[in-house]
């Protein structure tokens, strides 16, 4: 794991966006795995700015998002499809036909999950997977006790995850109980992984992911077994790492 600790959340967003852009420049027909959540909003703002500055084109890119709420149609304002359209896809030159999310409102979500896993394989697999981190250690919507070899499937969300995400449901609705998510195994198949975490609320999960035992208790800890994983953290998210000084020393900037 390469663990980069930067001063501010803003610096984290800029670095993550820069890594995504340089990856796409190196391989214009790359397959990106994309993520949602509050942390990604500022990352995507930076990606859009790089695109507008002419520094990166997504015209040849295919993307697969990690997850989607079951039961929400794509035009629902709280769906991840809606999030991705508004916060990224509408502002870059990606071909909408190649920007994939699982369909949350399909009559048979389990069939959607199976087809999604197959579509990732058919596209040649994911080159770079972007990840946030749940305060409980989840990646995608792979909650604690998720099989570390799981593939795309339905998951029941933890109460703590639904509470954390209720801030995106301001109109009295509650987050759905079920989601379709890439599995931990799906994520581990990506050739490269980039996890972004900021803020003190993530510090315990970050410490477990980086320094704890590899365990389904903290699903992100499986990234210790990935050959090419980069974590970009701010000081607050890195605040509970025993190896903080060492990590600052090996990657000073």
| Nearby residues of 26 by Cβ (< 8 Å), 6 or more positions away | none
Specify the stretch interacting with ligand GLP by CB under 6 A; choose among 30-38, 88-96, 115-123, 211-219.
30-38
Closer of 168 and 244 to ligand GLP (Cβ): 168
Chosen residue from 83, 89, 141, 218 binding ligand GLP by CB under 6 A: 141
Among 9, 134, 183, 219, which residue sits at the site for ligand GLP (rule: CB under 6 A)? 134
Burial of residue 199 (number of CB atoms within 10 Å: 0-12, 13-18, 19+): middle
229 bridge partner residues: 193
Provide, rounded to whole angstroms, the least separation between the CB of residue 240 and ligand GLP. 16
Residue span binding ligand GLP (CB under 6 A) among the ranges 32-40, 96-104, 185-193, 226-234: 32-40
Is there binding between residue 161 and ligand GLP (CB under 6 A)?
A: yes
Virtual torsion, Cα 4, 55, 9, 159, nearest 10 deg: -90
Give the β-pairing of 178-181 and 67-69.
Answer: antiparallel
Among 132, 176, 183, 219, binds ligand GLP (CB under 6 A): 132
Which span (31-39, 146-154, 205-213, 220-228) binds ligand GLP, by CB under 6 A? 31-39
Per-residue tokens: 216: 């389904």
Q: Of the candidates 30, 142, 152, 165, which one interacts with ligand GLP according to CB under 6 A?
A: 165
Question: Which one of residues 39, 142, 186, 208 is an interface residue with ligand GLP (CB under 6 A)?
Answer: 39
Q: How far apart are CA 128 and CA 23, in angstroms?
A: 8
Q: Which residue lies nearest ligand GLP, judged by its C-beta?
A: 132
Burial 77-113 (b: 16+ CB within 10 A, else e): ebbbbbbbbebbbebbebeeebbbbbbbbbeebeebb
What is the number of other CB atoms lying within 10 angstroms of the CB of residue 41? 13
Q: CB-wise, 44 or 58, nearer to ligand GLP?
A: 44
Cα distance between residue 161 and residue 182, in whole Å: 17
Choice from 37, 102, 109, 137 touching ligand GLP (CB under 6 A): 37
**Binding stretches for ligand GLP (CB under 6 A):** 35-39, 66-67, 132-134, 140-141, 161, 165
Q: What amino acid positions are annotated as catalytic residues? A: 67, 136, 138, 143
């Amino acid at each position: 794991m390469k663990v980069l600790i930067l001063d501010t959340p803003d610096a984290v967003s800029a670095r993550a966006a820069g890594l995504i852009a340089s990856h796409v420049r190196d391989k214009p027909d790359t397959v990106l795995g994309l993520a949602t959540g509050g942390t990604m909003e500022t990352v995507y703002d930076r990606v859009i700015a790089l695109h507008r500055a002419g520094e990166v084109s997504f015209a040849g890119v295919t993307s697969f998002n990690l997850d989607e709420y079951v039961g929400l149609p794509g035009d629902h304002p709280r769906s991840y499809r809606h999030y991705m359209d508004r916060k990224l896809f509408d502002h870059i030159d990606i071909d909408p036909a190649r920007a994939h999310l699982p369909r949350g409102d399909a009559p048979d979500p389990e069939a959607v999950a199976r087809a999604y896993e197959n579509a990732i394989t058919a596209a040649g697999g994911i080159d770079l997977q972007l990840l946030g981190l749940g305060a409980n250690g989840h990646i995608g919507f792979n909650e604690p006790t998720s099989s570390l070899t799981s593939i795309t499937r339905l998951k029941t969300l933890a109460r703590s995850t639904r509470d954390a995400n209720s801030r995106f449901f301001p109109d009295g609705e509650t987050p759905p109980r079920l989601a379709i998510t890439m599995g931990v195994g799906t994520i581990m198949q990506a050739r490269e992984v980039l996890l972004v975490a900021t803020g003190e609320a993530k510090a315990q999960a970050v410490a477990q992911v980086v320094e704890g035992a590899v365990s389904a208790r903290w699903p992100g800890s499986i990234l210790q077994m990935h050959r090419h994983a980069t974590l970009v953290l701010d000081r607050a998210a890195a605040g509970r790492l025993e190896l903080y000084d060492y990590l600052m020393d090996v990657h000073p900037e």
